[in-house]
Amino acid sequence: MQQTKYIVIAGGVTSSLGKGIVAASLGKLLQARGLKVTVIKLDPYINVDPGTLNPYEHGEVYVTRDGAETDLDLGYYERFLNITTGKDNNATTGKVYQNVILKERRGDYLGKTVQVIPHITDEIKRRIRVFEDKGYDIVLVEIGGTVGDIESLPFIEAVRQMILELGRENVVTVLLTLIPYLHAAGELKTKPTQHSVKFLMQSGVQPDVLVCRTEKPLSDDIKRKIALATNVPLDAVIESIDVNSIYEVPLKLAEQNFDSVVLKRLGLESISRRKPQMDAWKAFLERYNHPQDEVNIALVGKYVELHDAYKSIREALVHGGVANKLKVNILWVNSEKLNTDNIHEKLSAAHGILIAPGFGSRGIEGKILALKYARENKVPLLGICFGMQMAVIEFARNVLGLKKANSTEIDPETPYPVIDLLPEQLEKELMGGTMRLGAFDIDLKPGTLIRKAFGTERISERHRHRYFFNESYGEMFQKAGMKISATDAVSGLTEAIELENHPWFVAVQFHPEYQSTVDYPHPLFKAFVREAYQRKKTKNGSKK
């Protein structure tokens, strides 16, 4: 079997340059040449996983099919590459140290003094090489943080060792840096990039390729200056100019021959001469850039100031829009600030309303107001996870007359716990821990909106929750017009609800956004955007 090749992508100068997008874009170009690719994200923070991080700290938590809570960059990988990632595709410093300490406690190291080198770096290398016998041609490895950070040093050291052990023809390093433009001077400055490369070289790693983020085109003179100062060949200094959409990045990098340069460094010259088959991607981008119309979707949540907190939802709306030849304008509505005085102002321009997920009591009354508005004004609505639970509470309070109805997560003493924990034994059987994580099979009931959207009887969707619809209230809800339209295939627990006498009101316990990709937009988002557009046409027609 041919040796698996590795491409390591690190970042310099500053964080948030887009390493995840560059890694996913390169992976897409390699796939388009016929290579089998996967991606690993290494995060330097000491948290074991991002599951407990505030979304304002780190953006959304992405959940894989096998139930791992991971970095949001795995969402980029899946959306771009149309692959399924899992627990082996993400590792943190905390996870690395946790595993080494567990081995030490078991006596696996036979009394040796456990140190960063070799024990921590060996564990990092083991995690990087976990896919070695799985049939992949190339594994892309994205290292979070910034070169020079103390947290990143063990990961960079592990890469240095891999280059020594496997040979430079099997491990290529890419450094993503920033070329800032100083408006006062009217100049692009290369010094930050030069310093980043020096930081990396001081750790024993010479970058093979530089990808330079810039808001202005790089002249040939600037590229030559960078190449000479960093010991990187001129053809391996790649410009990555700011673009309007992340979906343009693979094509822009291809114009710079990024994938060809990397493949040549890996000794894959014959593959580098193949033409990437990007026709489907170009067709998607053409529809994205030239929509036939537009539609407004209000996204109601408590983390809307940081859009990355809802990254997968945002991109799933893009996919749903493109599938309908529409541009989706997201109206970001802070549920904490939504009240009876401003709700019409905030939501009247929306053709559809999406109630976002999120744990805890903060902002729930605003979400409940938005749900009431959507229900009474017949606005198409999609509720996700916590959004479904809020839809149940709103209906219980305002239709069933159970004024103090709530979730026991919010009010443990509520007299009407319409959302509650499972009985202890059932919780053990269905969850296996404190959260229900990962993909589970779901049965869709005939004659429902969700069944129509999917066009199938059974689906598999990802979850991230602990509280459930209280089934003892099921008959009461259904008699009043809230249908249970989907159930867990094993337990029969409620997975989706819909409203009768409403054009399109669907709320689901699962997270459909995690499975929407460029190639396969999620059926629920396609249906939701389509119905929102119907609402727009109806409203416009009534005004004439």
Q: Which amino acids are annotated catalytic? A: 385, 511, 513
**First-to-last CA distance in the chain?**
68
**Where do runs of H (alpha helix) occur along 6-120?**
19-31, 55-58, 73-81, 93-106
DSSP string, 334-365: EGGG--TTTHHHHHTT-SEEEE----SSTTHH
Phi, psi of 404 (to 5 degrees): -100, 20
Spell out the residues 6+ positions from residue 471 whose beta carbon is closer than 8 angstroms to its own: 493, 494
Helices 19-31, 73-81: axis angle to 10 degrees equals 20
Q: Which two tokens stand for residue 455?
A: 């066009």
213 in Cβ contact with 178 (< 8 Å): yes
Closest listed residue to residue 41, CA positions, set 64, 12, 8: 8
Return the beta strands (E) in 375-481 as ranges: 381-384, 405-407, 416-420, 436-444, 458-465, 468-469
Spell out the residues 6+ positions from residue 77 whose beta carbon is closer than 8 angstroms to its own: 20, 23, 24, 27, 38, 39, 41, 83, 85, 89
Dihedral angle sign, alpha carbons of residues 393, 347, 383, 527: positive
State the amino acid at position 172 in one-letter form.
V
Pairing of strands 138-143, 5-11: parallel
Q: Which residues of 513-541 are buried (b: 16+ CB within 10 A; e: fewer)?
A: bbbbbbeebbbbbbbbbbbbbbbbeeeee
DSSP string, 189-206: --HHHHHHHHHHHHTT--
Q: 3-state DSSP: the chain helix, strand, coil percent, rounded to 5?
A: 45, 20, 35
Phi, psi of 358 (to 5 degrees): 155, 135
Position of tokens 């992976």?
27
What gap in Å lies between CA 301 and CA 317, rounded to an integer? 15
H or E element at residue 156? helix 153-166
∠ CA 447-452-453 to the nearest 5 degrees? 150
324 in Cβ contact with 379 (< 8 Å): no
